[in-house]
Structure formats: structure tokens, C-alpha cells
Amino acid sequence: MWYWPRNATTTQLLEMMIVAIILVLLSTNGVESRKAKVSIESYDYSAVSCRSHSASLTDFGAVGDGTTSNTMSFQAAISHLSQFSSDGGSLLFVPPGRWLTGSFNLTSHFTLFLHKDAVLLGSQDENEWPVIEPLPSYGRGRDTEGGRFGSLIFGTNLTDVIITGDNGTIDGQGELWWKKFRSGQLNYTRPYLIELMYSDNIQISNLTLINSPSWNIHPVYSSNVIVQGVTILAPVTSPNTDGINPDSCTNTRIEDCYIVSGDDCVAVKSGWDQYGIAFGMPTKQLLIRRLTCISPFSAVIALGSEMSGGIQDVRAEDILAIGSESGVRIKTAAGRGGFVRDIYVRRMTMKTMKWAFWMTGNYGSHADSGYDPNALPEIRNVNYRDMVAENVTMAARLEGIPGDPFTGICISNVTIGLAAKPKKLQWNCTDVAGVSSGVVPQPCELLEEKTTTSSCEFPEDALPIDYVQLRTCSHPNKCD
């Protein structure tokens, strides 16, 4: 999909026309004319789908010097490869180099593969980031009212999309964006590194993402999503650099990831206030496992605050939290509506935390003044079990909503070691109800202690995404 940058000069338009002519010639000559032209190394990689056709980014005039813009090269390459979507799909190989680029769109039945020494660099030129409409379930941008910049890697209404590599790097060069955000200089919401909308069968794996302008990975209105083996790094003071944000998605698997973030490591979302309620698409059937997170000012796993379409059936296990504000946090408020229910967390290890557990029913930040203050969220059936923590300032802060308590909370077999100077009150509970067993220090009275050992639920059945297996694909010596 082509777009023309806003305020493009005559020279830029001429350059784009030349690329378009080259693209037409490539399409006219067909695949056969390109065989054996570009030799790249052979390698194996894991993917849900293997591809029949491939090309290198350098086939389309790209220059990996870190200063030449390659936005048009990415566009031309992907546009050319899209012709193979019904013929075994295609792979675009990004070789070693520093490849400066603005936003570009992917296509269906397509793999973007980054060599281990390949670095994608997000352009510092706003003209290389198209402005797109706000998400309908949000009604506005997250940073400002109105539109938002398209993500560095973007796609909508796609099927069978893979973004992978042998730990190649995507560097958003976000510091410029962070400064503009802090100083109020943004006219539109900052871009994300990867966003796929209204898409199905997505794999994002074996990559390092650094310095995103805002959120790193954002699948939204999508299904059958796997995020695996991804390292995400950002300064812990960088604003809103969430790691992975499944948003109104069904059947998602997040596993074996390492995240250092200026915001939540995983933030589960489904729309904002009246816009999310009207859109009505929940996030459900979500697996999170073998995650390591460092986030001194936010949560390891956050549910909300934009949860107005609902969140249901989240299963998290084998999580390591280090130096983070809270382990699991539910964020909502009157006016959000929606629900958070059937949440299951087990085998979580927490080291140096402000809170182990935090539920917030008074989280503000509404989209606009049009929300309904009587739209109360339902928070029910939240299960935590088999956890250990050390150097914790306060065990739990559980704050429901007056007249709308959070119910069905179950905490079992949890040992929380306190910091040298802990809070005097370890469990601060209001407007919540549930049970506990085998928890140290002893929970608040609103979590009724069971004399017999109670094992909080964790479902034994597998979710559909658990049955999706990656294959070993081989890339040939020569591009087709």
C-alpha cells in the first residue's frame, strides 16, 4: 500500500515516481527475471508459515548506512512481494546494516525477516509518518485529541503475517518523541513500533525492540496472535513505552520475553470509556508465560485502564518481576464500564517491589467529558496462587469502587518477604471481597481466611492458541 508523505517536495515526488517505475518493471519481468540475482546466506528459522518466494531489501535500492531514508524501498519491496500472497507467500530479508525508515505497511502471507546484524531505525522526520484516524474503541489519540501517527511497522486487515529474525533490532529512536510529548509539542499521538489491526494469524518473534516512541507491540482487533522470544528495552523513565499491549484481541500467546520498560510490561486493553463500550470487543483467551520484567514505575501485568470492551480469561504463569512497582495491577474506574473477570496467575516470583498486588477502582484519565459516570465495571473471579516475593514495601493495595465491589478474589499459597522499611499497614483493602489461604503476611479481613488449604483456580484446559506450533523453515541460498 502506497502513501505520499505530507508536504513532500518536488524532488521527493520524483524519487517516488522512479521507484514506482522500477516496481512496474520488476512486476512485468516476473519472478524468473530475479532468480539468482541476489545471494544471501542460507538459514533456518521458526515460523507458523514458511514462504515460497523471497527478496532482499537491497534489491529495491535500500542503503544501510543509517542516514539514507529507505521508506520507499520498504514500500516497493512489500508491494512487489504482495503478488505472491496466493502462491506460497513471500519473505523480505533485511540484511546487515542500519536501515533508516519511516512507517511502512505489511501485506498478507508475508514474513519480514531481520538478520542478527540488521537494525531498523525509526525516522526522525515526521513527514515519514502518515497521520491516521484514532482507534474507534478509543475515540481519540492517547497523547492528544484527534489522529495519530502510523506505527513504524503497520498493517490492517491482514492474514498470516510474521515479523521475525535471528534477534535483529528495531530501534524507534524515541528520545525525540519523548521530548515532544513532555513539552506538549505533539499535534498527534506518538507512533508505536509495531501495530497490526483487524488481522488474523500474527507472529512476532526473535527480535530486539528498543527506544520505542510509545508502545512497542500493539495487536488490536486481531486474533490468533503469538509474541515469542522478544526482548524489549527502553529507559525506565521513558513515557508510555509499554512492552506488549494486546487490545481487543482473541486467542493470544505471549511467552519467553524479556522487557525493561518505562510503563507496564504487558498491558491488556479493550477500549476507552464510552467508545470501548460501544465498540464492544473484549480481549479474551490470553496466555502470558515465562516473562521477565523490570518496570520501576509500573506493573508487570496490567489489566486496563482502557478495558471498557471487557477482559476475560487471562492466564499468566512462570513470571519473574524484578524492581517493579507492582506485580499484577487492575486499573479501572467508574465510567469505564466493561468487565475484568476470570483472571488466573500462578508461579510468580517478585523481587524488590512496591506492591505485590494492586487493584485500583479510581483510575481517572477519561477520554473526554462524554463518558457515563454510572457505567460501572465488573471485576470478578481474580485468582493468584503459588507466589513468592522478597523486599516488598507493601503486600497489597486493593481498592474497589463504593457500591461496586470487586468480588471473587482468591489468593493462595503466597509468601511475601518485606523490605527493611516496610509500610506499617501491609494490606489496604476497601470495597473488595474474597478468600485467602496460606498467605504471609496475613491478608485483610475482607479476604476471608480459610482454615483448610484452598487452591485458587487455574484452568486445566488448553486454549486454542496453545495448539499452534511453529515449524522450522529454511531460507534458500538464492532469492527467487
Name the residues annotated as catalytic: 263
How many Å is the maximal CA-CA distance in the chain? 78
Cis before 212 (ω within 30): no
Name the burial class of residue 373, with classes exposed (0-12), middle (13-18) and buried (19+) by CB atoms within 10 angstroms of its CB.
exposed
Contact 19, 69 (CB under 8 A): no
Q: Which residues of 53-79 are buried (b: 16+ CB within 10 A; e: fewer)?
A: bbbbbbbbbbbbeeeebbbbbbbbbbb
Give dist(CA 446, CA 111) in Å, integer. Answer: 51
DSSP sequence for 409-428? EEEEEEEEEEPSS--S--EE
Q: How many other β-carbons are positioned within 10 Å of the β-carbon of residue 206?
A: 22
What are the phi and psi torsion angles at 474 (to 5°)? -115, 130
Smallest CA-to-CA distance from 62 within 33, 19, 114 is with: 19
**Residue that the C-alpha cell 466493561 belongs to:** 338
Kind and range of the H or E run holding 223: strand 223-228
Contact 290, 321 (CB under 8 A): no
Provide the terminal-to-terminal Cα distance of the chain, rounded to the nearest Å. 22
Q: How remote is the C-alpha of 479 from its chain's centroid? A: 31
Q: How many other β-carbons are positioned within 10 Å of the β-carbon of residue 441?
A: 15
